[in-house]
Structures are given as C-alpha cells and as structure tokens.
Structure 1
Amino acid sequence: MNSSASYHGGYIDPNFPNPMGPNDATIIIYGYTPSLAVGVLGVILFTVASAAHLYLLIRYRTWYFTPMLVGTLMEIAGYIFRLLSSQQDPYSVPWFVVQYFSIVIAPVFFSAAIYTLVSVMINIYGKEFAPLPPKVVLGVFITCDAVATMVQIAGAALVRVAYSNQKDPTTYNHILLAGLAFQVFSFAVFLAVLTWTLVKARKSPASIDKGFIAALVVATLARLLKGLMENLSTHEAFFGCLEFAPIVVAVFLLTYWHPGRWLRFGALENRREKSEEQQDWTRTQSASKRH
C-alpha cells in the first residue's frame, strides 16, 4: 500500500526504508513504490507475447517483423527490473534507469513494426495508392520516432537528476515535453498516411483481410494513445491504464493478426491474378480489333 509522503519535493515510502546504498537515490524516482502485481503481469504477458512472436516469425519467415519480437524482449527486461524495484529496492537508480529505458524504447520497435507493415501493404496495393513510397514511410517515420524518443529520454533523465538534487526541473521538463510533442505529431502524420492509403486502396485490384486492417488501425491508435499519455506516470494507476495497457493491446492484436497469417497469403496472389485477367482481357480486345 502506497501512502503519500513528501521529502523535499520527492516521494519516499514510509513503509519501505531507504537502504542508503551507493546506488540509491534519496527519493523514489518513480514517484511511487511500484507494485508487485504490475511487475508480475508485465513479465508474464510480454513473455507469452515474445514466445508467440518468435514462433510466428520462424514459421512464416516474416523477418521484416523482427522489431515486434525485439520490443517484447525489451518489455520483459523492463518489467523484470520494475519487479526488482517493487520487492527489493525502489530507491535504486540503476534499476529505475534500466526499466525506464527498456519500457520507453520498446514502443519504438513496435512503431517500426507498424511502419513496416504499412510499407508492405503499399507494395501489395500498389505504390500509386499511397502518398509516399514504402522506403520513405520506413525511413522518415522510424527516424522521427527514434529522435523523439531520445529527446524524451534525455529530458526525463535530466528531470529525475534535478529532483534527486533538489533543483527546479522546469527547464528539463520542457525538453521532455518537446520530444513528446514531436513524437505525437509525427505519429499523427503517419496515421494520416495510413488513412490516405486505406481510402485510396479501395480502387486497388489487391485485397487485404479487413480484420487485419482493423487490427492494424487499433494497434496504431493504441500506440498513439501511449505517446499522448507517456508521462502521466506520477501514479501507478496512470502508468497501468495509459502506458502498460495500450502496449499490451497493440502487441496481442498483432500476435493474432500476425502478417505471416493475414498479409502474406492471398493479397499478392489476388493482385497477380487480377492483373493477369486484365492483361488477358486487353490481349483479347486487341485481337478482336485486328480481326
């Protein structure tokens, strides 16, 4: 049970004495004492997801979807250290840094996986139905996401150091918010690109399972929600509902609606068949005109 306690602007848990080790901060940097339940749930759910994605990756040889597996592995690492913090030492700076870095960086890989899926879809539908070429989608949005995340990590680290040193963190918080704003903006632009592609692709001879498309859109929105609410984590309830839950939803949606099952088969063949039918029809018409 977490009870509020202030210590020069930082949080300490009266029920969890500070070990005062060489790697311990004077406050709990989380802003609360992490719970056992969230740590255990995170490790279990992302371990299941990781095993599933590894199996699907090998079975369907969808190597382009490897970022999804990397992201789940990073989530496992993050929640292991969060679990250690909750049970052994919530004041430990290294444990906080590892869990924060892992849990913040993991969604970058999930975003990369989503960008890759959209680039594959553009190739299936036809480049003429998308506002940007597939390689541009990958290059631009992965770069934007990586830069925004690095700025957020730098800002968050400076904020935590300022709190630990009993200094005003306002300036550093602006850096963090700037990175967050840029990330949300770039992801919103990506959402516009995805929407444009799906609307225009209705004229494409290729078809992709509508359930897969719906799952991709929901996973994308979940990732965007996580970005919007990324730093509302001064209470664990916010962390659980606005950071943990959206990522779990996105990961498990793209486990069942894995591209190896829904994107690999049917769409390309369907496009080729329709293209061949159009070519046959054109040849027939040309032959008829000659006669």
Structure 2
Amino acid sequence: MASQPPVQGYVDPNFPNPMGPNDASIIIYGYTPSLAVGLLGVILFVIGLAAHLYLLIRHRTWYFSTVVIGTAMEIVGYAFRILSSQQDPYSVIWFVIQYFFIVVAPVFFSAAIYSLVSVMINVYGRQYAPMPPKLILWIFIVCDVAATIIQIAGAALVGVAYSNQEDPTTPNNILLAGLAFQVFSFAVFLVVLFWTLVKARKSPTTISRSFVAALVVATLAVYLRTCFRLAETAEGLLQNLSTHEVFFGCLEFAPIVVAVFLFTYWHPGRWLPKAASPLRKSEREGESVSG
C-alpha cells in the first residue's frame, strides 16, 4: 500500500523536526518565528498593559477595560511565538494557541472603540448618530464575536489538517469566511463613525480634535490589521503574505501597537470629561490634557 505523500510546505533546515505527537510535518507559520518579534511583542504589550491598567483604575473608565484584556491576550500570544521560535516551530498546539490569542485580542480593542464611540454619541447628542449608542455597541460586538468564533474554528481545523497531513483547503475557507464577515461589519462601523463625526460638527458640545484624530487613526489601524488577515487568507495557505514574517510584523503587530499606545496618551479618561462641556473654538484650540 502506497504511503500518503507529505504535505508541501516550509521546513527549517537549521531546526530539525522533533516529530512529537503534536508536531506537524511542516512549520505551519510558513517560516520560523523570529525571537526579536516575539520579545518586542511581549515587552511593548507589557508596557501597554501596565499603562492602561493604571489609567483604568485612575479614571474609572470601566467601559474601556477591554483594552486591558486585549493587551494581556497579546502578551500570551507573543509568548507562545517565542516558544515556537526557540523550542519547537512545528508544534501545532503552540501555533493554534498563539493564533487564538493574537487573533482574538483585537476584538477586545474593537469593543473598546465601539464603547468609546457610544460614549462620544452621548456627549455630542443622540441626534447626531444614525442609531442609538447602545444599539451600535451591541450590533458590532455580536458581529465581532461571531466572526472570531468562525476564525478560531477555521484556524484550529487548519492545524488539525496539517497535523494529519490532510488537505487544509476547506478549513482555510471557513477561516476566510469569518475574516470576510469581520471586514464587512467593521466597514459598516466605519461608516457609522464618520457619519457621526460629520454630523457632530453641528453639536454645541465639542470633543478635542486631537482626541478624535487619535480615535480615527487607532480605528483605521485595527481595520488595516483585519484587512491584512483577510488578504493573507484569501491568497491561500503558504503563499507570499503568510510565509514572510515582515508582513506579519508590519500589518498585524505594528497596527495593534499603534492603537494601544495612541490610547495611552489620548485615553478617554483624560479627554472626554473635559470635552463634555461646550467650549468656544478658541478654547478648543488651546485645550490641554487634564491630569
């Protein structure tokens, strides 16, 4: 009886496969993860976690607590990338764990942004938004949760397929469906956000322009990361985007770092209370950060 041909993919010539029970025949990442990226991820997200935890407790902005959860998950994800880079890049379990935490973490950042926009609508006035703030919050959180569950299921099945040397096309299509839905729902949210910001220019209550700009940049950074994941999966397994860590570093890691650190300085606890009262244009121009 003929043996099943091995799955084509990347094998590190400098890192022999331990051939353990949880090891795939190839490195599912498409490359051996970099120790530098893993360490940088852990260090930066530990700093971000400490900063956001401090700001959360100081300003009691509990609606923004999901940023703390997201940064903690990023730390776990990058810690497992370190393990993969140093001990066993062929491990399916470590691949799935790091994928789970790094993919799910941005959902918590998105939830924080949805909550923040809901608070801003209450500051501006309900009439300046296309729908009630609570409805915005729950619609997009439910969409993100559903999309993420589909993604995680697809990623886990991809790992199982590689481990069993089976065709991973169907699991990858499941993953693709989850990402496509997430990109679509986030695009709808962007329409809601920009609609609100345009209409809110007529509001007698103002919010610092620099804070709004930071919110927009952070939101677009999270969206860029989601679009990258969609493009990577749509291109196909073990293709250009998924087999070069530079794309991961620039389009997954960097955008989330930008979002996390933008919200450390432009934290809603420092800006929104001051922006809640009407200000004259001249006062807005010279507004400083509250302590």
Q: Alpha-carbon deviations, 1:199-240, whole Å to 9, x = none?
A: 000111110000000000011111111011013432211111
Q: Alpha-carbon deviations, 1:214-267, whole Å to 9, x = none?
A: 00001111111101101343221111111111111111111111001111x222
1:176 aligns with 2:175: yes
**In the alignment, what sits opposite 2:260?**
251
Answer with 223-232 or 97-106: which moved more: 223-232
Partner of residue 270 from structure 1, selected from 269, 272, 278: 278
Kept in 2, the 8 Å contact 1:9–1:163? The answer is: no
TM-score by length of 1: 0.88
Runs of 4+ in 1 over 6 A off after TM superposition: none
Deviation, structure 1 residue 11? 1.8
**In the alignment, what sits opposite 2:208?**
209
1:226 aligns with 2:225: yes
Deviation, structure 1 residue 98? 1.4
Kept in 2, the 8 Å contact 1:34–1:85? The answer is: yes
Gaps of 5+ in 2: 1-5, 233-240, 281-291
Aligned residues: 265
Gaps of 5+ in 1: 1-6, 274-291
Structure 1 letter corresponding to 2:95 = F
**In the alignment, what sits opposite 1:95?**
94
SS in 2 for 1:111: helix
Kept in 2, the 8 Å contact 1:29–1:91? The answer is: yes
Structure 2 letter corresponding to 1:145 = D
Calculate percent identity across the aligned residue pairs: 74
Q: Alpha-carbon deviations, 1:112-166, whole Å to 9, x = none?
A: 0000000000000000100010110110000101111111121222223223333
Kept in 1, the 8 Å contact 2:140–2:185? The answer is: yes
Determine the C-alpha separation between the residues in 1 that align with 2:167 and 2:15.
26
Determine the C-alpha separation between the residues in 2 that align with 1:270 and 1:63.
24
SS in 2 for 1:269: coil
Determine the C-alpha separation between the residues in 2 that align with 1:89 and 1:170.
24
Q: Alpha-carbon deviations, 1:89-110, whole Å to 9, x = none?
A: 1112222121111000000000
Answer with 93-102 or 139-148: which moved more: 93-102
TM-score by length of 2: 0.88
Kept in 2, the 8 Å contact 1:71–1:110? The answer is: yes
